[in-house]
Every structure is written in structure tokens, then in C-alpha cells.
């Protein structure tokens, strides 16, 4: 499992933003407009990446999704491209502000399957599916979604940012595979129900420390009455330390600076990626 060579480090810091926000179930157009406004706010704070919660574009309301899929879903072609006029304000905001936006969406694939995905809305180009959730929560998600088959990352200004979604965070192997593939950070939008944020906090700190990389978790607030969320958005540095946290149950944006010097310093004495012997 050991990497053959240490991954190249980015040349400069990168500011990322995590939007702890509420979305309206089934209102893709309205949620895209909200995301566009948040993109402008993130850019005003100097961020080059904005991460939104799991299923932000449709809201984490699985009964509503099952009952009215046309209102909640977006469609992707065989290459993962999403052409949906409801997302135009978000695409325009990403272009106008030079911000890469990572937004959760329910995506109907060209083969008819439905995935719980992250869309990447880059400053240039149409929205594309960047990642499909691999570990589906057993209560409801398995009855709706098809699991993704591989890990994924986006690269922004030399930073390789691996993607996970909510329950993926519970599996150490998921983040470890990303780190061994050269990830400098692990971005994990979620929708942990109110009262369960403590689990995400434990997972996130561990994923950061054991892989000596940045780890970000963004959780929504509000949501349907039967399953509200209460935030808990947090960023941890490569030594497991808390680099930023938002107050619970309040909409806000968390800004965090990812610094390659911190990666160099921590990896100079915490060498788990080099010295891991599990499985080989």
C-alpha cells in the first residue's frame, strides 16, 4: 500500500469555504440561486473553493425525492456533464468569481441509475459529476441510490482535494486510499441528522491525523421536520488539530487556509503514509 513516491506539494496556500446552510427540499432552482449568492460571499472572503452540504441542490429529504423525482433530480450524460437551466445562476457565479463550487445533487445517470453525487462547478465549463457516494446509509439511501465505484478528487491551484460524502467519512480506508493517491485534503459534505454531529467530529479529526492531510466536513442546518440537521461544520489540519469550526444550528460560512508548509512540517515527523504496512 505504500506510495512509490511522495506526492508533490502545492506551491501556495489555498483558501476554501464551507457553507453551513439550509436548502429547500425539491427546489433545485432556488437552492442553486442560494448557492450562487454563497459563492459571491466566499469569493469576497478570498476563497477559491466553496463546498456545500450533501444533496444541497435538492435538500436531504429522501421521502420527498422518492415521491417526486423530477423536482429533485438533475440529469447527466455519459460523460457526467449536467445541462440544467436551473443551475445557470450557480455556473455564472462560479465563472464571475473564479470559484470552484462543489455542490451535492441527486443525479440521474444516462443508464437510468440514480446517484448521490458531488457536482463540480468550475469557473470554466459546464457542471460535471465529480464523485458518486460509495457508502450508502442503510436506512433509506440504499433503496434510492446506486453506490459509486471509485474515489475521486478535484485539483485546484495544485491542491489535490479528495471527495467523500457523509457516511464515506466513517470508513478509514476511504480517506487512506485518497491520501495514498496523493491527496492533500479530504472534503466531505454531509447531512448528519441533529444529535449525531459528534460522530462526524471524531471521524474527521481521525481522517486528518492518520493521513496527515487537511479534512473538511460541512453539514447543513434545518431541513425537513422529520430529519433536521444542526450544522457541525469543521476543518482539521494535517496534525488533527481543529483549524476552524462553526457554531451549531446557524447558517454561516467557514473559511480555512490550506497551507503546504503545514503539510511539510507534519509529514516530516508523522510518517504514517510512508510507513503503513497494512495489507502488504
Domain ranges of the chain: 14-271
Give pLDDT tens digits along the chain (280 positions).
444 445 689 999 999 999 999 999 999 999 999 999 999 999 999 999 999 999 999 999 999 999 999 999 999 999 999 999 999 999 999 999 999 999 999 999 999 999 999 999 999 988 999 999 999 998 789 999 999 999 999 999 999 999 999 999 999 999 999 999 999 999 999 999 999 989 999 999 999 999 999 999 999 999 999 999 999 999 999 999 999 999 988 999 999 999 999 999 999 999 999 888 876 5
Q: What confidence score (pLDDT) does residue 1 get?
A: 41
Q: What confidence score (pLDDT) does residue 125 get?
A: 80
CA angle 109, 114, 115 (to 5 degrees): 95
* Closest to 190 in 3D by CA, of 221, 162, 144: 221
C-alpha cell at 47: 476563497
Distances (CA, A) of 24 to 9, 251, 271: 39, 14, 44
What CATH architecture does domain 14-271 belong to? 4-Layer Sandwich (3.60)
Q: What confidence score (pLDDT) does residue 235 get?
A: 98
Q: Are 251 and 221 in contact (CB under 8 A)?
A: yes
C-alpha cell at 205: 479529526
C-alpha cell at 89: 445562476
Q: What confidence score (pLDDT) does residue 7 get?
A: 65
* Closest to 48 in 3D by CA, of 134, 149, 154, 128: 154
Half-sphere exposure of 268 (CA within 13 A, CB side): 6
C-alpha cell at 36: 450562487
Amino acid at each position: 500500500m505504500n506510495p512509490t513516491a511522495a506526492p508533490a506539494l502545492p506551491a501556495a496556500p489555498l483558501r476554501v469555504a464551507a457553507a453551513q446552510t439550509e436548502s429547500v427540499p425539491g427546489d433545485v432552482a432556488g437552492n442553486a440561486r442560494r448557492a450562487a449568492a454563497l459563492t459571491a460571499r466566499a469569493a469576497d472572503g478570498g476563497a477559491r473553493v466553496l463546498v456545500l452540504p450533501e444533496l444541497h441542490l435538492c435538500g436531504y429529504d429522501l421521502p420527498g425525492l422518492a415521491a417526486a423525482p423530477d423536482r429533485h433530480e438533475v440529469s447527466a450524460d455519459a460523460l457526467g456533464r449536467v445541462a440544467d437551466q436551473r443551475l445557470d445562476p450557480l455556473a455564472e457565479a462560479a465563472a464571475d468569481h473564479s470559484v470552484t463550487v462543489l455542490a451535492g445533487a441527486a443525479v440521474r445517470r444516462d443508464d437510468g441509475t440514480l446517484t448521490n453525487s458531488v457536482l463540480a462547478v468550475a469557473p470554466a465549463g459546464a457542471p460535471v459529476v465529480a464523485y458518486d457516494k460509495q457508502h450508502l446509509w442503510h436506512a433509506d439511501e440504499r433503496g434510492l441510490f446506486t453506490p459509486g465505484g471509485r474515489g475521486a478528487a478535484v485539483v485546484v491551484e495544485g491542491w489535490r482535494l479528495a471527495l467523500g460524502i457523509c457516511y464515506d467519512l466513517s470508513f478509514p480506508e476511504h480517506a487512506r486510499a485518497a491520501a495514498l493517491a496523493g491527496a492533500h485534503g479530504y472534503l466531505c459534505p454531509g447531512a448528519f441528522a441533529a444529535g449525531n454531529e459528534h460522530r462526524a467530529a471524531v471521524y474527521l479529526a481521525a481522517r486528518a491525523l492518520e493521513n496527515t492531510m487537511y479534512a473538511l466536513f460541512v453539514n447543513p442546518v434545518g431541513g425537513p421536520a422529520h430529519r433536521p440537521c444542526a450544522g457541525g461544520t469543521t476543518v482539521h489540519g494535517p496534525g488533527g488539530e481543529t483549524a476552524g469550526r462553526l457554531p451549531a444550528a446557524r447558517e454561516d460560512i467557514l473559511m480555512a487556509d490550506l497551507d503546504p508548509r503545514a503539510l511539510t512540517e507534519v509529514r516530516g515527523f508523522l510518517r504514517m503514509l510512508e510507513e503503513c504496512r497494512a495489507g502488504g
